[in-house]
Structure 1
Amino acid sequence: MSEDSWALSVDNQEASTPAMQMDFSKKVDRMRGLRKPPTDLNSNIWLEKDESEDWRGDTDKVNLAEQSLLNKIIRRSLVRNRNQVEVLQRDPTSPLYSVKTFEELRLKPELLNGVYSMGFNRPSRIQENALPMMLAQPPQNLIAQSQSGTGKTAAFSLAVLSHVNPANKWTQCLCIAPTYELALQIGQVIEQMGKFCPDVKLSYAIRGNRMQRGVKVQEQIVIGTPGTVLDWCTKLKAIDPKKITMFVLDEADVMIGTQGHRDQSIRIHRQLSQDCQMLLFSATFEDSVWSFAEQVVPDPNIIRLKREEETLDTIKQFYVLCKDKEDKFVALCNLYGSLTVAQAMIFCRTRKMAAWLSAHLSVEGHQVALLSGEMTVEQRATVIERFREGKEKVLVTTNVCSRGIDVEQVSLVVNFDMPVDMDGNADNETYLHRIGRTGRFGRRGFAVNMVDSKHSMDIIHQIEMHFNRRITILDTNNLEEMDEKLG
């Protein structure tokens, strides 16, 4: 599409009917009045037109470790995951076992009590397949893909607690995580699940927990970050790596994205005995994660999620042609007025744009929450909890909220800015995660993309090609069309 035909298509869309044109003109006039910021808006938020960000702008970067920690904090119970799992066994001739109850695992009574005390009534989908492999004798190695909230941490915690011999006062199970906070989260799960196992002890190899050189760790389970764990094994000789019989590497995708952690993890792995059981978990399985996993987990069983694209079946996808951010705002107001929206999530590329949009939505009388990367994890968790409880109906956010937040009442997702990668191409994975916040649990949802340039139209075409699905144009100034398409 040429620039001329782009402008023509926008103009044609706006000139639907005289009545619509008149109503649109009034709204545009009102929006043009916003060229001078209203008195109740912070003038620092206002962007003059020549300051508007394009796709090369200062995007709000996602910190994977913070995102994982946020998901662990806000998910107090298992999410209902519709994904099917794909199991690739190390020995294809071996029978494939899965379990539907925890009793089938023949756990020690004190461990079964710990599982039930945590509110687990039956295994989640990942647990059904992973637990028999993790508890098998002789031990089997495992690489598993599992998102936060699917019971993955509880699964390997159960395996760790089942594995240790309380009579042996040395480290037998070693678990590493990419950050101090994530290590503490894992430890809390193990402590809670093992509360009926008083003879099983846990130690944290994290910053601030100092060990004296030559003093051996007597706790059977050690959880820590790669740098501190490596020090405990090599410099301080507090752990004998050859006595470790189970090694768990959690959040592998976060781990390899953190400076130095990949090499430290490999150095720890090289000190372990060849018959040590290896368990590796990752939310994503990109090529870099696979390469890393192959280095540390020999002859693995593999459990991975099938592609999540079936979630698109319950989501109607549209795009709206706009001229600028004010035009987008008008379209958003029209859209919100035409839909019966329980709750909505609106994604912006930058913190500045998110702040501008949330301020203007508030002026329009919407209950708006703002979520962006400068907030602490705890502050973000509080905002998300308020949104879940329905205290705000609209959540304006950057990419920090694109993954893993399940709110059943979300019926509308708006890409105020289209998601792009560093090269300006469509970020298909982020798009999927964004619009996947609606249409959840079998409910119908709507995803609306704001298109304000030839470049963002190209992004729409790339997304259509990638997912092999058509995204329909929507005229938000034509009430009859919106009723027909959104009905």
Structure 2
Amino acid sequence: MARVFTSKEFRRKRRLQDDFEEEDMSRVDFETSENVVVIPTFEEMNLKRELLRGIYAYGFNKPSMIQKRAIRPIVSGRDVIAQSQSGTGKTATFSIGLLQVIDTQLRETQALVLAPTRELAQQIQKVVLALGDRMNVQAHACIGGTNVGEDIRKLDYGQHVVVGTPGRVFDMITRQNLRTDSLKVFVMDEADEMLTKGNELLYLILGFKDQIYDIYRFLPPGIQVVVISATLPHEILEMTGKFMTEPIRILVKRDELTLEGIRQYFVHVEREDWKFETLCDLYDSITISQAVVFCNTRHKVEWLDEKMKESNFTVGAIHGEMDQKDRNEVVRKFRDGIYRVLISTDVWSRGLDIPGVSLVINYDVPTNREAYLHRIGRSGRYGRKGCAINFATTEDIPTMLEIESYYGTQIDEMPMNDILVNRLVLAATKNGIRNVQENISYINIDRPFSAMKLKKDVEEDLVDQILEKQSSASMVIRRNAVTVCQYIIRSAAFIPSLEKVSCQIIPNCRNHLPWPQGICSKCQPNPVTLNHQRYRHVDNVEIENKEIMSNFLSYWYKSHGQRMGFLFGRYEPMTDVPLGIRAVVTVIYEPPQITYTDGIDILEDPHDEIVDSLAECLGLKRIGWIFTDFLRDPDDPTLLHTYMLSAAECLIAAKYQNKYPNACKYSLDGTFGSKFVTLVLSGGENKMVDFAAYQVSNQGSALVAAECLLPSRSSPNMACVRRSTPTHYVPDVYYMCHDEYNNKIRKTAGLLPVEYLFVTIPVGLAKEMRYTLTSQEKPFPIENRSSIGSVQNIRVVGEYVKQFEESEFLKMISNFHFLVYLLTNTEVTFELDDLAELLDAVARQDSDLAKQWAENSIKWNEFKNLIGNEGESVGESEPWACGHCTYLNDHPNADCEMCSLPQKFNLIFNLRLFIMVDLDGSQSPHSHKISNTVFIIPAVIVLIIVGIVVYKLINTLQSKHKKKEEKKKAKGKQK
């Protein structure tokens, strides 16, 4: 039921407003309240368990200074006036307090938060929802420029917390859709902006002060009031005394307001039209992630946005008169990193937090001291480091000095480093300019940062390149304009180290007993919120030539069993993509494995290190793995559509990526992510072989490394998040999705779709076939394929070598599988050092060096004599399976010992034989079993014969039965 206000209540509220204007507060003294309790940890605040988990899930490990002091008074129901530096967690302070106070079982509005801008109101709503995620809290943002009907529908449904701008909130109250009967807490964020008349233009347009007074008239008597801001001028504190009762005051002294970690500079720009060129110089030299440029007027924002876009810079612009939908879109693109630079008025200077912002540029110096503090507070959020640069004309110098004096801070001029001047002299000298020292002049010699220029033309790009070679610092030179020192930008900007996702408890915490007896925010891993990873470590996978795939696919064509192999190749720059990387596949090595029609058992490879060392000598490395996922169509000789990535395959891929990490100097431990790719061959929609490549995301790899994921038994394409046990802690895992209203929400991951775990990568054959080794027109048998009769022994080696002329020695020896056999055979033992010169010749494709090695190598000549004995065996060779009787032959003879049929008969009938594996992983040549799958021709023949026999037998029985029945009928008639 909506609340109806009587005329008596209206008169009482109006008298209250009159009191605001009349009472003299000049004698009130404002200081921080005595005996403010400081609570060092969230655990000691006695918060709800669900709220505490939401705090840790949001990323807070310990409370900030303002949170240690202000949360407890808010929770206890006291009125609070809190002032603290920008970026210290003020929004979370009052959000935690009101979430502790409200009762989520009661579907009524119990907390009202006012904010001066729409964007700030939306951000507060998101913080409240994130912190109260486990409490099932309902929060809605009532802001102008949005659909009124949607606000009415949401409010009628019931919201625990309402956040909004004063105009829309007052409208909802007067419409009686926002019911205030159950309100417990009233919060004013950035109160100075809403209550002061210092900005007359803003006051005339928005009338925030009167709107807040009107809203307060409808609030329950004795409601708890919380006032929050980074700046609270004396006149604001006087006003708050009218509607607050003995408030707890937590005020920061003026000289403590300067943000720690934010380095402040100003560039003296003598003319206004030089600012744009200076900004372009800065934009070119920015090495940080994102920056915000502030202007004083809407017209300046629109003009600067247009000029930057004309110069082909990707920027976004926002101001108070934009449509709300457009403002939301600009903010979204800036948060997502689509825009690196945002141009804005002061509408964006309050409370909004973008983690990537570490540079603020004041294109126009703000007109008041409070605006300056809020602007530069957009960088250095919550203890992070940042940088602020002010473009100051001669008229702005007094304002800058006043800001310095008021806050007791220091804003340095951007210096020109003498070392860089010397490097410029050196670079210009190498460019052919003589007497450089005489050609360098300074305008305003007392301001070394301003207007250094060369009287003679200097090729800017060449000077920059030479400077880059001299040092990692470089300088952008603009003639007839302000020279901006990129070295200062790079030294002032903060580039954080890349941190891996951690899903494991930090051991040896001193504050408590080890898990499961104890845990705290310091040792507990942060919750993992899975998003679709927006970047790739590898941008493309390229197969050098079609023979690589043909040789790999030949196993399935002969046996219909799945197959797995490791990809060896190299990484190359991909010029089609900025800073792109391409993985080029040169060869596929197949390790020991047992194959089935529906799976693969990967066995331990005793030659794993030998293969990696061989590849390294050839200039190759292990870059990924490949497997088949085929099903034969029983109705026609094609493939079924089998493309579906399962959770089990993703988990195996993640294990390989964790085993082969990517080296990165910007990471704390020297590695970040992985370039190891996964290639899948499956049946496409057109019933043809389909190629697909992907990588598991960094978040997914971290979860697999911590053993937090398992394949789901109910659905192959779902992963199951394990539960914590006394021996194994699993952090909270969420994933982002959209609800029925297309709002982006976060869900707890019990069963997790695998699409959140991987990133797809384009894959295909090279446009122009390449052969890093040599063409495989005369292939050598691939290793570990004895189950289809493809064996590597002396006889096979002799047949392979005889295919080549003596002049084709390099072509013959440049076969990866043949080189692996040379290093792993038991007849003549080659060490890697024995083949060093040969491998160098193969890598460089040097025919003369290869022939020279062949002539001088004693072991190779011994090997040649061995293979020249017409295939006669010396020593034990690899067993092979007969294709007719499936007997496992231990000798290399061409005929089977059991049935005397030739070995090549196996390739006709395609019967599979599996070598039994002992428990210790060794193969027993005397034990074998026959596959329960009988293939093609034998199966068809047997079935036809059995069918004919059964058919004849049935006909014989039916004819006999029929004759007996006829005889019985004949006897019956005779009787």
Q: CA deviation at 1:132?
A: 1.9
Find the aligned partners of 1:338 and 1:220 in 2 and give their Cα distance. 47
Partner residue in 2 for 1:61 = none
Amino acid at match of 1:478: K
Q: Determine which of 285, 303, 315 is the counterpart of 1:356.
A: 303
Q: Determine which of 263, 267, 271 is the counterpart of 1:314.
A: 263
Partner residue in 2 for 1:396 = 343
Partner residue in 1 for 2:387 = 445
Find the aligned partners of 1:466 and 1:317 in 2 and give their Cα distance. 17
Q: Deviations over 1:106-146 (max 9, x none)?
A: 3343444454455544434433222222234xx43322236
User: Which residues of structure 1 form unaligned runs of 5+?
Assistant: 1-85, 212-216, 421-426
Find the aligned partners of 1:192 and 1:312 in 2 and give their Cα distance. 27
C-alpha spacing 1:196/1:291, structure 2 compared with 1 (3 Å): same
Find the aligned partners of 2:320 and 2:84 in 1 and give their Cα distance. 24
Q: Please, what TM-score do these two structures have when normalized by structure 2?
A: 0.32
Partner residue in 2 for 1:263 = 213
Find the aligned partners of 1:330 and 1:201 in 2 and give their Cα distance. 48
2:353 is the counterpart of 1:417:
no
Q: Determine which of 240, 244, 247 is the counterpart of 1:300.
A: 247
Q: Determine which of 160, 177, 182 is the counterpart of 2:114.
A: 177
C-alpha spacing 1:127/1:231, structure 2 compared with 1 (3 Å): same
Identity %: 30
Q: CA deviation at 1:408?
A: 6.4
State the number of aligned residues: 371
User: What SS does structure 2 have at the residue aligned with 1:346?
Assistant: strand
Q: Determine which of 79, 85, 110 is the counterpart of 1:141.
A: 79
Quick check: 2:92–2:127 contact (8 Å CA) kept in 1?
A: yes
Partner residue in 2 for 1:227 = 170
C-alpha spacing 1:196/1:435, structure 2 compared with 1 (3 Å): closer
Find the aligned partners of 1:180 and 1:445 in 2 and give their Cα distance. 24
User: What SS does structure 2 have at the residue aligned with 1:295?
Assistant: coil
C-alpha spacing 1:319/1:278, structure 2 compared with 1 (3 Å): same
Q: CA deviation at 1:295?
A: 1.4
C-alpha spacing 1:100/1:112, structure 2 compared with 1 (3 Å): closer
Quick check: 2:47–2:100 contact (8 Å CA) kept in 1?
A: yes
User: What SS does structure 1 have at the residue aligned with 2:343?
Assistant: strand
Q: Deviations over 1:89-115 (max 9, x none)?
A: 3xx3x47231313x2223343444454
Partner residue in 1 for 2:315 = 368
Amino acid at match of 2:73: M
Partner residue in 2 for 1:96 = 37
Q: Deviations over 1:293-315 (max 9, x none)?
A: 21122111122345432448622
C-alpha spacing 1:350/1:411, structure 2 compared with 1 (3 Å): same
Find the aligned partners of 1:203 and 1:457 in 2 and give their Cα distance. 44
Quick check: 1:315–1:438 contact (8 Å CA) kept in 2?
A: no
Amino acid at match of 1:272: P
Q: Determine which of 46, 49, 63 is the counterpart of 1:109.
A: 49
1:276-355 pair list within 5 angstroms: 277-306=224-253, 307-311=256-260, 314-322=263-271, 324-325=272-273, 327-333=274-280, 344-355=291-302
Larger radius of gyration: 2
Find the aligned partners of 1:482 and 1:184 in 2 and give their Cα distance. 37
1:183-262 pair list within 5 angstroms: 221=160, 223=162, 227=170, 246-251=184-189, 252-256=191-195, 258=208, 260-262=210-212
Find the aligned partners of 1:116 and 1:398 in 2 and give their Cα distance. 34
- Tell which has more relative contact order, 1 or 2 (C-alpha 8 A, sep 6+): 1
C-alpha spacing 1:249/1:265, structure 2 compared with 1 (3 Å): farther
Find the aligned partners of 1:402 and 1:387 in 2 and give their Cα distance. 15
Partner residue in 1 for 2:604 = none
Quick check: 1:205–1:222 contact (8 Å CA) kept in 2?
A: no
User: What SS does structure 2 have at the residue aligned with 1:250?
Assistant: strand
Quick check: 1:87–1:301 contact (8 Å CA) kept in 2?
A: no
User: What SS does structure 2 have at the residue aligned with 1:248?
Assistant: strand
Quick check: 1:312–1:436 contact (8 Å CA) kept in 2?
A: no
Find the aligned partners of 1:400 and 1:106 in 2 and give their Cα distance. 37
Q: CA deviation at 1:164?
A: 4.9
Partner residue in 1 for 2:939 = none
Find the aligned partners of 1:362 and 1:483 in 2 and give their Cα distance. 23
Partner residue in 2 for 1:131 = 71
Amino acid at match of 1:264: D
Normalized per residue, the structure richer in helix is 1
Q: CA deviation at 1:475?
A: 1.7
C-alpha spacing 1:268/1:184, structure 2 compared with 1 (3 Å): farther
C-alpha spacing 1:333/1:387, structure 2 compared with 1 (3 Å): same
Find the aligned partners of 1:329 and 1:109 in 2 and give their Cα distance. 53
Amino acid at match of 2:320: G
Q: CA deviation at 1:285?
A: 1.4
Q: CA deviation at 1:438?
A: 5.4
Amino acid at match of 2:32: L
User: Which residues of structure 2 form unaligned runs of 5+?
Assistant: 1-29, 196-206, 414-446, 455-474, 476-482, 492-975
Find the aligned partners of 1:178 and 1:450 in 2 and give their Cα distance. 31
Quick check: 1:347–1:396 contact (8 Å CA) kept in 2?
A: yes
Quick check: 2:83–2:232 contact (8 Å CA) kept in 1?
A: yes
